[in-house]
Structure 1
């Protein structure tokens, strides 16, 4: 898709009339548009798009829709439906009442472009500039930081399911890259043991049987790694990400004693900040805060907290879930200084 910059249109007269009739006292989106105007421009996102190809949807509108759908916790389908059907959304986006909107997949494509071009901060920074221009942020005022959890897009597995799924994933990747080599290495019983996802596996309930299964999986993994690192095996296989993950997980979960695989006791595991939880997201970590337990990441949110001023978000820092707020203060202050938003107090 290519970007053909479009002028930022004023709100259509018919949309204004219908919106004010539907919301005589206004609503949050109408007030936002009336008070702040449009703080995104197509030109600001020009680097995200090619100069050739089918014209893209207006990026400034996609950026604003992204913010509004987050505020309302809407799926992409629901957000696209809101653009088509809601008068207040058409008002803030400057659309005709008859505008048919866009396909919901455009939103995920836009987010992917933001991530790929490391342009996610543009969404917040443009808003901050508008807030400062409107006098909504007090210079050298007070700010506070707190964190909340971000769930990784992985299932929460117990240790036995995790090692089984890690080995299964490695076998699947090897089957794609070196199918003939894998057939020559894998025992027949592995097809039944690692054919289905491990959360579907009927695991034994007896503790000794579970440990026996864990040691069997551990031995299988060690044997597979031995075959992979054999001089006669394809050398490029060792560089596959799945193989590296298998090797790291096995170091964390097992150890060898007199050439026998041993399942690590829970007191002999790496600290949570090092522990791989899922082969599908090796940076996700297990964490606990107050009454919340999760696997994923942590968002450290900084907002203004001055009397007689609105509380506005000034910074978001995403880290591993095990990182404490105090550990990111210096990084937050450095970024706030660049935005001319450095606080005088930061409790």
Structure 2
């Protein structure tokens, strides 16, 4: 059962003894005075439905610890050590000065209960209510969208390591798999979690090992296909099938395209949305830019640029169309604690948010995109871009800079072909032997209009340059000094989304305090 906060002062109360040493206007002082208003015990009653058992800690205390833990980026043992030894934490949590702390697994248990509940982000929601009560966002009609890459908490595994780990998991969790593997699968000593001892600099030896491991995996997958299994066993078998197929291809000279002669090799490509670890199957390769590559997750935020307050956040797998910045960013605007203006928000974003689909979705939702268009890349350096071609959507035609007209196909392509022969502008247009061809985006008109508006509207560019960079300040707060919070502590999107929301709750409290947050008889306000 949940513990209850004491209403009166305690013996050796830390706040009474040394509370004056805690800086006024700090998160510690705020929690010391108002933690039970922010996080009342009743807010967590549903986590302990039975009402039986030894009382746990009060919800206000645990919520305060979790906020401080994520705000200072501490592990569970480090957070408990702070509860035990840091006077600021004792004051914030209302604990006596001789309080010895508690076991770190207490924090683990509370997080698990929160994540399994109907309202896992209730701490984040409680701070959003504070933001709404202050009215700090009233009249603020701009929102900036951005994303940040977080490194995962596990090591990236190569193909062989993943195959061995997945087979060992199937052996543990699928009934009967251990017997099948012992009888029919001999590519590896499955009691050994490490890699086999082979001549790793010998390509032939590597290919033989890969073929043997993949074939063993296929034996197991085929052997249990159609068998009724519980959820854990099904997940283990599905993961084995995935890692056995995502990184391999038939070896040279193999019969057919399915490796039917039993020979496989490491594929000479990277599978889309590749699983990079059997320990955290939701971690992905991240290409934030062409030259900047990481492994992990992508955090998405919406920020009010004048105050620096986060108004929405989400964390997703780093790959996949459904997890693109533009797709997730639109959903963040719906989380805003302040109802948007009748004509929508002015939405500021970098070129990642400037896709045709994103602009159409933002406009369709009533918002005004203030997004820097992606630069056009001409086919010939310094030559014509797609904007130099005139498009008549009504007639379905494209006219080149030399006046040649071509019909658009059903797939929205136009080929000028023989018309490019002898064209005096060809050197500025194409180097293709068969002449110029272009493909138009489904939202080509909207993209053209956005590029033209950006080039001609100085006020639009000034608004972007003035307000959009402010989101970088909030991102810097999010990732912490020297980027120490880029490394996540948990596995999977659910656990790390909870962490992101809780950290943002702490950051918003700190920012509100800097803006003059006070508690009045009528509620929260800014001085």
- For residue 173 of structure 1, report the CA deviation from its aligned partner: 3.1
- Give 3-state SS (helix, strand or coil) of 2:347's partner: coil
The two structures have a TM-score, normalised by structure 1, of 0.81
- Is the contact made by 1:36 and 1:130 (CA closer than 8 Å) also made in structure 2? no
Specify the alignment match of 1:345 in structure 2: 346
Specify the alignment match of 1:284 in structure 2: 283
Specify the alignment match of 2:300 in structure 1: 300
- For residue 161 of structure 1, report the CA deviation from its aligned partner: 2.5
Specify the alignment match of 1:249 in structure 2: 243
- For residue 302 of structure 1, report the CA deviation from its aligned partner: 2.4
Say whether 1:263 aligns with 2:260.
no
Specify the alignment match of 1:240 in structure 2: 234
Specify the alignment match of 2:26 in structure 1: 28
CA distance in 2, matches of 1:78, 1:157: 29
CA distance in 1, matches of 2:149, 2:309: 20
* Residues 41-60 of structure 1 aligned to structure 2 (within 5 Å): 41-50=40-49, 51-60=51-60
Comparing 59-68 with 163-172, greater Cα deviation is found at 163-172
* Residues 36-185 of structure 1 aligned to structure 2 (within 5 Å): 38-50=37-49, 51-174=51-174, 177-178=175-176, 181-182=179-180, 185=183
CA distance in 2, matches of 1:203, 1:171: 27
- Give 3-state SS (helix, strand or coil) of 1:314's partner: strand
Comparing 142-151 with 41-50, greater Cα deviation is found at 142-151
- Is the contact made by 2:143 and 2:302 (CA closer than 8 Å) also made in structure 1? yes
CA distance in 2, matches of 1:321, 1:287: 6
Say whether 1:312 aligns with 2:302.
no
- Is the contact made by 2:84 and 2:101 (CA closer than 8 Å) also made in structure 1? yes
Q: Please list every run of 5 or more consecutive structure 2 residues that lacks an aligned counterpart in the other structure.
A: 349-527
- Is the contact made by 2:150 and 2:299 (CA closer than 8 Å) also made in structure 1? yes
- Is the contact made by 2:170 and 2:240 (CA closer than 8 Å) also made in structure 1? yes
In structure 2, relative to structure 1, the CA distance for the partners of 1:346 and 1:152 (3 Å cut) is same
Q: Which has the higher contact order (CA 8 A, sep 6+)?
A: 1
Specify the alignment match of 1:212 in structure 2: 208
CA distance in 2, matches of 1:300, 1:145: 8
- Give 3-state SS (helix, strand or coil) of 1:279's partner: coil
- Give 3-state SS (helix, strand or coil) of 1:297's partner: strand
CA distance in 2, matches of 1:292, 1:68: 32
CA distance in 2, matches of 1:182, 1:251: 20
In structure 2, relative to structure 1, the CA distance for the partners of 1:202 and 1:141 (3 Å cut) is farther
- Give 3-state SS (helix, strand or coil) of 1:302's partner: strand
CA distance in 2, matches of 1:163, 1:16: 59
Specify the alignment match of 2:2 in structure 1: 3
Comparing 9-18 with 243-252, greater Cα deviation is found at 9-18
- Give 3-state SS (helix, strand or coil) of 1:335's partner: coil
- Give 3-state SS (helix, strand or coil) of 1:303's partner: strand
Specify the alignment match of 2:370 in structure 1: none
CA distance in 1, matches of 2:326, 2:178: 52
- Is the contact made by 1:150 and 1:296 (CA closer than 8 Å) also made in structure 2? yes
- Give 3-state SS (helix, strand or coil) of 2:312's partner: strand
1:9-49 residue CA offsets vs partner (Å, 9 max, x unmatched): 679976245132x34x5462344347866411111111111
- Is the contact made by 1:218 and 1:263 (CA closer than 8 Å) also made in structure 2? no
CA distance in 2, matches of 1:19, 1:202: 64
In structure 2, relative to structure 1, the CA distance for the partners of 1:237 and 1:89 (3 Å cut) is closer
CA distance in 2, matches of 1:236, 1:33: 48
